[in-house]
Amino acid sequence: MSLEVRFTRHGTTDVLRVVDVSLTTAGPGQVRSAVRVAGVTPIDRSRLPRW
């Protein structure tokens, strides 16, 4: 199992949910990669509420 942050609608950070997901295997012609860090751009930050 792995943790994933998901959202199903637009909104502020209150729409984000952390869920358990099962890991999948890559099929023929596909690759699976691990993301350890994801950046936040100034545009992303400007869309978040100030708190």
Residue 41 has pLDDT above 70, yes or no: yes
| pLDDT, mean of residues 24-32 | 92
* pLDDT digit string, tens, across residues 11-20: 878 888 999 9
pTM score? 0.50
Average pLDDT, the chain: 86
Residue by residue, what is the 3-state secondary structure of the chain? CEEEEECCCCCCHHHCEEEEECCCCCCCCCCCCCCCCCCCCHHHHHHCCCC
Residue 50 has pLDDT above 70, yes or no: no
Q: What integer pLDDT is reported at residue 4 of this predicted model?
A: 87
